[in-house]
Amino acid sequence: MPIATTRPGHRNQSDPQPGITSGTILRFPLIGNIKCKKVLGVVCLLLVAGLLYFGLSPFHSPKNQVNWLSEGNGLAFGWYGTLLSPGTFKAEKIPAHSPCSLEIWFEPSNTWGGGALFVFYVPRKAQQLSLRQYESDLSLQIDTVSGPWPPRINGLEVPKVFRQGKAMFVTVTSNGEQTSIYIDGALARPAAPFPLSRRDFEGELIVANSPWESNTWSGLIRGLAFYDQELTPGEVRQHYSTWTTKGRPDISQSEHPLAVYLFDERRGSIIHSQVAPGPDLFMPGKFKVVDKIFLRSILKGFEPDWGYCKDVLINIGGFIPFGFLVCAYLSLAGRIKKPGFATIVLGFAISLLIESLQYFLPTRYSDITDITTNTLGTCLGVWIYGMRFWRTILSKGWARWADRFVVSEARTQSS
């Protein structure tokens, strides 16, 4: 290893690097010294701390953002808000293709996002019913879950119905095989082949979120009801009129209500069903996901949209600097025979740690896709570091740092 022997600031032909003085240790092909190695080590530690911070923030379960309206009946749902039912809807002895209906009176906070308005959830049940907002579209869905594969979605949609700041009264009626959707008492989607049945009203009712991951809906909900029969068009119009003018529908027992939530308590954490046997709803103190998935598979996490592609690019790009700088540091340290391989293993381990801890954070996603893309970003960083162009750039950077700081320090000590 060559050692410079001339006075500080004087360069002769034997110096491998300008500005390197007596006592400075050099390593090739990466040009640096002990102090450069320490600075690079600190940069790597800060980078790891940054990855952990952005990967695990906010580090806790946020407060459940559900509040009673100051005027009138209803609840306001924030970005992280949900209701759960401690009891369940029963449907074990219900025949297949039984008629049913549901009503929901609500107002979305925006038309650029979306989320689950409600989901009926039974663990390990193959089919789960949900009502969702996709930007300005309304979608009634029955998701069929099968192992690690993405759920097969059978949906009935009404496009472009949401208006920001505008309340909506949605009624869904079904005879067990044909389903119709009404908006504000008027038919918006004529009867279509969609097998909605009373048997789909089963399990725990989750409002404004999904049972497996954070898929929250924000806005106002003023009423929610489920029925054990198909409402007629006249009953649909009557319920819309009485609920929106009087704050409650005129319901007879002949309409077989299962649960009616008026949201008229205006205080406390319990929302009572006005009829039996519907279970009550409650507001948990902290936002939670009922049955969060640990390390969701790549297939289940895949979504064919720009948001998914953007997340993939961010996860790859976020770990490229990690792969580049950590590989540079390990190469400079010279204690590991295969610094590139060690860097990739370290990137995988950090990503696995982040995704495992995200399982305990309801606002984050525990996802194998993120581990894969983070590791790919680390590999790209190692590959970029191995390119001669970037190694030359980094070497020149160390040289300028040495000229500016190492030489000046040596002059100070000599004086």
Q: What are the pLDDT digits (tens) for 187-221?
A: 999 999 999 999 999 999 999 999 999 999 999 99
Q: What confidence tens digit (pLDDT) does each residue in 38-75 have?
A: 888 999 999 999 999 999 998 889 999 999 999 889 99
Query: Angle at which helices 34-56 and 306-333 pack, to 10 degrees?
Result: 150
Question: Would you tell me how many other CB atoms lie within 10 Å of the CB of residue 129?
Answer: 21
What is the pLDDT at residue 408?
52
What is the pLDDT at residue 193?
94
The torsion angle over the Cα atoms of residues 261, 262, 267 and 268, rounded to 10 degrees, is -10
pTM (two decimals): 0.82
Confidence of residue 265 (pLDDT cuts 50, 70, 90): very high
What is the pLDDT at residue 333?
82
What are the boundaries of each domain within the chain?
34-58+301-408, 66-287
- Assess whether pLDDT exceeds 60 at residue 302: yes
What is the pLDDT at residue 284?
96
Encoded tokens for 343: 């860097």
Encoded tokens for 257: 């209500």
Question: Would you tell me how many other CB atoms lie within 10 Å of the CB of residue 268?
Answer: 10
Q: What confidence tens digit (pLDDT) does each residue in 344-399 have?
A: 999 999 999 999 999 999 999 999 999 999 999 999 999 998 887 766 776 666 66
Residues 6+ apart with CB under 8 A from 93: none
Mean pLDDT of 314-326: 95
Q: How high is the mean pLDDT of the chain?
A: 86
- The two beta strands, 168-174 and 257-261, are unpaired
What is the pLDDT at residue 23?
34
Indicate the CATH number for domain 66-287: 2.60.120.200
Check the CA dihedral 213-215-220-224 and report its sign.
Answer: negative
